[in-house]
Amino acid sequence: MSDFFAGIGKVPFEGPESDDPLAYRYYEPARVVLGKTMEEQLRIAVAYWHSFAWPGGDPFGGQTFERPWFDGGMEAARLKADVAFEMFSILGTPFYTFHDRDVAPEGRSLAESSRNVREIADIFAKKQEETGVRLLWGTANLFSNRRFMSGAATNPDPDVFAYAAAQVKDALDVTHRLGGANYVLWGGREGYETLLNTDMKQELDHAGRFLSMVVDYKHKIGFPGTILIEPKPQEPTKHQYDYDVATVFGFLQRFGLEKEVKVNIEVGHAVLAGHSFEHEIATAAALGIFGSVDANRNDYQSGWDTDQFPNNAPEMALAIYYILKAGGLTTGGFNFDSKIRRQSLDPQDLIAAHVGGIDICAKALLAAAAMTEDGGLAKALKERYAGWESAEAQAMLGSDLETIAARVDREGLEPQPRSGRQEMLENWVNRFV
């Protein structure tokens, strides 16, 4: 045991009346909601990156957090692993996620970096066994080191493509070994700053080949998890190729990968793309590529990715309603890709942030389940599209323009507009949130 969380015990469930900031008011893992436990419905994960690797910097100043594992070598990485699993136990969260470079220091060569990651993975394997905590996904950091400044798979330099391929191979091996439920690719530097120095067609072709190789390797090693792409429209590059869910679907289809790869949808990324979170979820569900979720929120007044902890239950409730409508989570989960503010220095800030964010998801799940059980939205939707249930309407879809035009003429069709009932539906939602 480290003493990092000294004095902080396991977070209890105390119910909505509790005023303890380190107690759950809604998250009750064993409570059954729509036929599954809350734990199974939400599959909550803690993100190693934000919670244990982020130093608290911003563009105007550096590190604000003083963690005993910062700037150390492998000894510090081992301490970080201890603290991370202590936090998972305190929170009672079933999953975690990590980038290769979050967990172990980068070495002087790729071989040394990979050895470092594997050594920490040995520790993770043991701790997973002891605690029952599982890996939701692993990923490779192909964006922090300066070698990736012009891209990884889309870099003009083929040696960088090769380095990235080798790094992903290692990260996928480690994820497989730890029983990861998914493997994520976020193209942090896959995009461009200026067209003046960019051959976009070539870069997109290379990104497609790279992803095909990842899928081939997944099958070769028998990794049973899902490969996920995480869309984001900008930041760090001005134009990211994986702009949003619809863009990613078009890319997957072009390379014949739409049955192989799904999406990891992040709340803040959806907002940066000018969408709502539920829009991205519904798009992925409609296209058959919904995979997993990165839970956080952006500040609506700032135009960048602030990765704050979720705290808006009504917004989260609608998103979860559409996840449930899509059949719920399978291999995916709610990964807290969220970071505390740089002034939130203390270990208990880290715990309180997760407790609050997890509670928002639990409260939202209860509201979404109540909405689902009431069935009001589903009924209104069915009525709105009821005309399409007739045999004649269905036959029209298999018909052609001339036949349809002849029928309009013959029957003198004169469609009458009907109310969309938006305010009534919004009021209905407000009864549950």
305: partner contacted, choices Co ion, ligand XUL, none (Cβ within 5-8 A by kind): ligand XUL
Tokens for 333?
């989960």
Cis peptide before 156 (omega within 30 of 0): no
How many binding residues for ligand XUL (CB under 6 A)?
11
Q: Between residue 248 and residue 307, which ones bind Co ion under the rule CB under 5 A?
A: 266, 294
Residue 54 touches which member of ligand XUL, Co ion, none, C-beta under 5-8 Å by kind: none
What is the spatial distance between Cα 249 and Cα 244, in angstroms, rounded to a whole number?
9
**SS3 readout for 329-374:** CCCCCEEECCCCCCCCCCHHHHHHHHHHHHHHHHHHHHHHHHHHHH
Cα–Cα distances in angstroms (integers) from residue 179 to residues 40, 168, 331, in the given order: 17, 16, 12
Render the burial of 258-297: b for 16+ CB within 10 Å, e for the rest.
bebbbbbbbbbbbbbbebbbbbbbbbbbebebbbbbbbbb
Does 305 participate in binding ligand XUL (rule CB under 6 A)?
yes
Catalytic residue among 100, 102, 294, 337: 102
Residue 266 near ligand XUL by CB under 6 A: yes
Q: Would you say 228 and 261 are in contact if contact means Cβ atoms under 8 Å apart?
A: yes
Contact call for residue 139 and ligand XUL (CB under 6 A): yes
**Is position 294 an interface residue for ligand XUL (rule: CB under 6 A)?**
yes
Q: Which does 244 bind (CB under 5 to 8 A by kind): ligand XUL, Co ion, none?
A: none
Q: Cβ closer to Co ion: 49 or 432?
A: 49
Give the x/- contact pattern for Co ion in 336-375, rule: CB under 5 A.
-x--------------------------------------
Picked from ligand XUL, Co ion, none, the partner binding residue 49 (CB below 5 to 8 A depending on kind) is ligand XUL
Which of positions 33-92 make contact with ligand XUL (CB under 6 A)?
Answer: 49
**C-alpha radius of gyration, the chain, whole number:** 24
Asked whether position 174 contacts ligand XUL by CB under 6 A, the answer is no
- Taking the least distance from each CB to ligand XUL, the nearer of 170 and 305 is 305
Residue 99 falls in the annotated catalytic set: yes
The Cα-based distances of 90 to 66, 87, 263, 364 in angstroms read 21, 5, 30, 22
CB of 238 to Co ion, least distance (A): 19
**Smallest distance, Co ion to C-beta of residue 99, A:** 10
Nearest to 98 by CA among 37, 46, 154, 164: 46
| Catalytic residue list contains 100 | no
Give the position of tokens 């309180």: 352
Q: Which is nearer to ligand XUL, 184 or 323 (CB)?
A: 184
Closest residue to ligand XUL using C-beta atoms: 186
In 3-state terms, what secondary structure has residue 4? coil
CA 158 to each of CA 164, 171, 303: distance values in angstroms, whole numbers, following the listed order: 10, 20, 33
CA-based nearest residue to 344, from 358, 356, 361, 360: 356
**Around Cβ 133, how many Cβ atoms within 10 Å?**
22
Per-residue binding letters, 399-418, with ligand XUL (x by CB under 6 A): --------------------
Binding-site member from 39, 86, 230, 280 for ligand XUL (CB under 6 A):
230
337 forms part of the interface with ligand XUL (CB under 6 A): yes
Catalytic residue among 99, 269, 275, 279: 99
Q: Just list the catalytic residues.
A: 99, 102
Which parts of this chain interact with ligand XUL (CB under 6 A)? Answer: 49, 99, 139, 184, 186, 230, 232, 266, 294, 305, 337
Residues that bind Co ion (CB under 5 A): 266, 294, 337
